[in-house]
Amino acid sequence: MKKILMLLWSVMLLASCSPDDGLGNETPDIDPVLTGEDLIVCNEGNWQSDNGQLSYYNSATGELTNQWFRSTNGTKLGDTPNDILQVNDTLIAIAVNWSNIIQYIHPDGTACGATENVPNNRRMCSDGTYLYITSYAHKCGDKTFEKGYVAKIDIRTKEVVATCEVGWEPEAVKLYDGRLYVCNTGGYAFSENHEYETTIEVVDAITMQSLRKIDTGCINLYGEASQAGQYLCINSCGDYYSVKPRTVVLDCKTESFRTYDFPCTYNTTDGEKFYTVGSEFSYDTGEYIYYLKTINPTDDTVTDGILCDAITEKLRSLVSPYEIYMSPYTGNIYFTDAKSYATAGYLYGYRPDGTPVFAEQKVYINPAHIIALPKYK
């Protein structure tokens, strides 16, 4: 009997030491604390020179590593990387346009596969299970197309599982409520027998069937697009002569849109507003005109400048602005200057209050795309 009582007493003691004593005194889960963010800069290099590169900024050490992909994998990245996207916590996709591959890497830079049958690939988006990518080409594997297309790739196998023909030379693609919104450009109008496009193609992301076209009335919907919830910010380049560039803001929920009389060549978002650097070029004058605008799509207001005077003035001082990116983790804003487009460019980073994150960083030729990798403890 004494042994039984001792056993019961031991069980009671163990129970009293349990993390959950029934009184709500469980050991709390500790949420990770954001300590900073590293950056990957995708440098396009020079077209047909096979010199695209990745640069990596380490926030803990303050060091920038150029030729990061090559030093990690012992091989070149390829010719003209045109887009970079973090698909999930373990996978990053890089659209290497003129090498006709989508290169996949882990966040530590190690290569982990490629998709090689989407030539002349352009821009990407993902739902975490599938990667969607546009292409100017007329072929994907055994399939042929009159115009361009968007391909759907299973990220587990890296294989194309479906395609949908869209308009001529499609660029940006974004996903909202099970639908893809594909910006058609007609960018080869100067060399091929077709006109510039003015449409956004709506595609069912599950069936990969085109549902309809939204005619914006604005030609050449070329370049990056950013997404703030149901809203997309899209650049219209014009024709570089008599047709001026414009900005299109699409409400994907209602599929209505508004247009503005300035370009948004490079644009980013904090999830509520769009921050845009517009570059207007004319072959008639050979000159660039730049616009710095902030757009609030919910109340249709536009203001000059971006965030604060210090950031606005720094952007105005750039020779050749080439990318703007706002981190979804810290709210810091990063941008690049391509300078002459033939020599090394520079990377800049600022907090929203205008204080620098780091001193200017010399990257590589045509630093066109940036993603942030959050660091936690």
Are the CB atoms for 294 and 278 separated by under 8 Å?
A: no
- The pLDDT, as a whole number, for residue 25 is 55
Bridge partners of 85, per DSSP, are: 93
- Edge-first strand order for the sheet with 356-365 is 321-326, 333-337, 344-350, 356-365
Residue spans of alpha helices (H) in the chain: 2-16, 68-73, 309-317
CA-closest candidate to residue 263, choices 299, 302, 300: 302
pLDDT at 19: 44
> What's the pLDDT score for residue 30?
80
Query: What single letter denotes the amino acid at residue 209?
Result: Q
Q: DSSP strand E in 59-141: where?
A: 63-65, 81-88, 91-96, 101-105, 111-115, 121-126, 130-135, 139-140
- Chain center to CA of 281: 23
Instruction: Tell me the torsion sign for CA atoms 224, 321, 72, 89.
Output: negative
Pairwise CA distance, residues 324 & 183, whole Å: 20
Residues with Cβ within 8 Å of residue 97, at least 6 apart in sequence = 79, 80, 81, 82, 120, 121, 122
Low-confidence ranges of the chain (pLDDT < 70): 1-28
pTM of the model: 0.91
Q: Which of 45, 43, 38 is nearest to 60 (CA)?
A: 38
The pLDDT assigned to 192 comes to 85
Phi, psi of 30 (to 5 degrees): -95, 115
Residues forming a β-bridge with 56: 40, 65
What is the Cα–Cα distance from 350 to 314, expressed in whole angstroms? Answer: 10
pLDDT on residue 16: 44
Which pLDDT value is given to residue 282? 85
For residue 26, the model assigns a pLDDT of 61
**pLDDT at residue 27, as a whole number:** 57
Could you write out the DSSP letters of every residue in 176-187? ETTEEEEEE--T
pLDDT tens per residue, range 215-242: 999 999 999 899 999 999 999 999 999 9
Kindly state the DSSP code that residue 196 receives in the 8-state scheme.
P
Contact 218, 246 (CB under 8 A): yes
Residue 205 token pair:
């992301």
Exposed/middle/buried for residue 98 (C-beta within 10 Å: 0-12, 13-18, 19+):
buried
Give pLDDT tens digits for 62-117.
999 999 999 999 999 999 999 999 999 999 999 999 999 999 999 999 999 999 99
* 185: its two tokens: 């450009």
% of the chain residues with pLDDT over 70: 93
